[in-house]
Amino acid sequence: MRVPEHGLRKTGTPVVWLAVAALAVAIGLAVPPLQAGDDEETTFDGLVLMKSTRTTQVYRKPDVDFAGYARLMILPCEVAFRKDWARDYNRSRGGSVSSKRVTGKDMTRIKEGIADLFEEVFAKELGEKGGYPIVTEPAADTLVLKPAIINLKVTAPDLDPLARTQVRSAGEGTLFLEMIDSVSGEILARAVDRRADPERHYWQWATKLSNRAAAERIMRQWASQLREAFDAAHDGEVARKDDSGDRH
């Protein structure tokens, strides 16, 4: 298994890692472990840089077999706005009396909503669709997902139901995900992936529903790609066992 972290640097890893846009594919769960070399970057906690692009970075332990993890424990998602987002947003509203300004209470409400939506989307994609039991207790076959959405930028937050704003993009955010052995607590992989709601060639009204839909689309991309990576890892393990059995 593999995951991203901070720092941009390209390494001489094989072509299998060229799935730039796919976070989970970039994590490469089904790929045999790669050995760290002189030209590879290693973090302080022993994770090797496997993929680095402008928007995606992936690190993982080189000797971990993720096929051994059948269940998932998803920790509550931490959410952090981009620094000075509220200040910049309020400045953009000018001095209009009719323009509601973002408050600390608004930011807390938005963060809680994003965290709840993340849990809902990942549980559905990985649990219901993927068939991986979502559990709350550690076990030898349980992998912990520790997510955070950072650098969150909402173009037009839903502050006043009577106010209407037109936007071309709902905003953007970055997933910071750590994958941890539930028994030992060892970090096995780390991934960072920045996603934005695509900027359209036309304006559309921003509402609470449209903002939620945009966030859900991005989260579903993250979750579905992670599910596909887990599927590939477990299919590979089944194939290896079958091949071993045929030789006896």
Can you read off the two tokens belonging to residue 202?
A: 């036309």
Report the chain's terminal Cα–Cα distance, integer Å.
Answer: 29
Q: What letter would DSSP give residue 4?
A: -
30 occurs within a structural domain: no
Angle 60-66-68 from CA coordinates, rounded to 5°: 150
Q: Give the pLDDT confidence score for residue 99 in this predicted structure.
A: 65
185 occurs within a structural domain: yes
Q: Give the pLDDT confidence score for residue 229 in this predicted structure.
A: 87
Give the predicted TM-score (pTM) of the model: 0.77
25 occurs within a structural domain: no
User: 159 and 106 in contact (C-beta within 8 Å)?
Assistant: yes
122 occurs within a structural domain: yes
| Distance of alpha carbon 71 from alpha carbon 234, whole angstroms | 12
47 occurs within a structural domain: no
61 occurs within a structural domain: no
Question: Residue 231: which CATH number?
Answer: 3.30.160
199 Ramachandran zone, left/alpha/beta (phi>0; psi -120 to 50): beta
- 217 class by beta-carbon count within 10 Å (0-12 exposed, 13-18 middle, 19+ buried): middle
> Exposed e or buried b for every residue in 177-186, given b needs 16+ CB within 10 A?
bbbbbbeeee
Can you read off the two tokens belonging to residue 235?
A: 């299919």
Task: Print the domain residue range for 132.
Answer: 70-237
| pLDDT in single tens digits along all 248 residues of the chain | 333 333 323 333 332 232 333 444 444 454 333 434 444 588 888 899 988 888 889 899 998 899 999 999 999 999 999 999 999 999 987 755 546 889 999 999 999 999 999 999 999 999 999 999 999 999 999 999 999 999 999 999 988 776 778 898 999 999 999 999 999 999 999 999 999 998 888 888 888 899 999 999 999 999 998 999 889 888 744 333 444 444 33
19 occurs within a structural domain: no
Q: Give the pLDDT confidence score for residue 234 in this predicted structure.
A: 85
Q: Give the pLDDT confidence score for residue 96 in this predicted structure.
A: 55
Q: Give the pLDDT confidence score for residue 165 in this predicted structure.
A: 84
57 occurs within a structural domain: no
State the total domains in the chain: 1
